[in-house]
Amino acid sequence: MELEGKVVIVTGAGNGLGLAIARRCAQEGAGVALWDMNAESIEKLSRELGVADARALPVKVDVTREDEVRAAVQTTVDHFGRIDVLVNNAGISRHKPLEETTLELWDLVIKVNLTGPFLCCREVAPVMKKQQYGKIVNIASLGGRTGRPGVGVNYAASKGGIIAMTKCLAKELGPNNIYVNSICPGTIYTEQTGQYPKEVFESWIAGRAVPKHGMPEDVADAVIFLASSRSDWITGVTLDVNGGIFMA
């Protein structure tokens, strides 16, 4: 029970990686605030995780909306009394070649993937500072490391931004005993990557040191490490979880 007694926020908890992360956090003994803009999915998950004994709290929030993020932090603190861990996981991809990437598509992806985590960090930081303790885990992406063609310039830039933001916040918040790290998952089958044709997805296995697909639980386990005291004294790092297709 690596997170016994801890309170964790997982954004984008309604699906894919976020859902697996929220489940693992609950298994490790945490109270979990399930943040997502899709209310139905987080209500379902909260019933599974134990809303009855107040262990899971569904919070409907669009992470791009400043007012909603502020209210979600308040709702979470009112319910649990503290916030130990913030997992910035909510994210989208809209991949097009450069010349087909409209300003609207650029803005949308930057807003969800970069502005959203910025707002969540900014609103959670005062709570963690008051506690003089906190762990922030930002879900970036292999695409932000490699700029792999096809991933989309908007997506790659947003995830590269997350990696830079992680380092900046690790330095700014470190004196308050707040740790900030990011994880770069390689391609994992979820609804988001399900947008790609099956043959494209299968082709990504080539070049991996470990030639198998990654599962959402592989990312969830890495989150548990960075969210728990097992990783104390690790801050500002980007952890690659990709079966060995990219090594920094």
Ligand X SMILES: NC(=O)c1ccc[n+]([C@@H]2O[C@H](COP(=O)([O-])OP(=O)(O)OC[C@H]3O[C@@H](n4cnc5c(N)ncnc54)[C@H](O)[C@@H]3O)[C@@H](O)[C@H]2O)c1
Closest CB to ligand X among residues 18, 58: 18
**Interface with ligand X includes 117 (CB under 6 A)?**
no
Query: Does 193 participate in binding ligand X (rule CB under 6 A)?
Result: yes
H or E segment and range at residue 9 = strand 7-11
CB contact at 8 A, 11 and 83? no
**Minimum CB–partner distance for residue 215 and ligand X (Å):** 10
- Which DSSP letter does residue 136 get? E
Q: Which of 133, 155, 179, 196 is catalytic?
A: 155
Strand partners, 180: 136
- Binding-residue pattern over the window 162 to 191 for ligand X, x denoting contact by CB under 6 A: -----------------------x-xx-xx
Give the pairing of strands 178-185 and 238-241: parallel
Chain CA centroid to CA 169, Å: 15
> Contact with ligand X (CB under 6 A): which of 37, 109, 151, 226?
37
Q: Which residues contact 4 (CB under 8 A, 6 or more apart)?
A: 28, 29, 30
Does 139 participate in binding ligand X (rule CB under 6 A)? yes
Catalytic residues, by residue number, are 155
Binding site for ligand X (CB under 6 A): 11-12, 14-18, 36-38, 41, 61-64, 89-92, 112, 116, 139, 141-142, 185, 187-188, 190-193
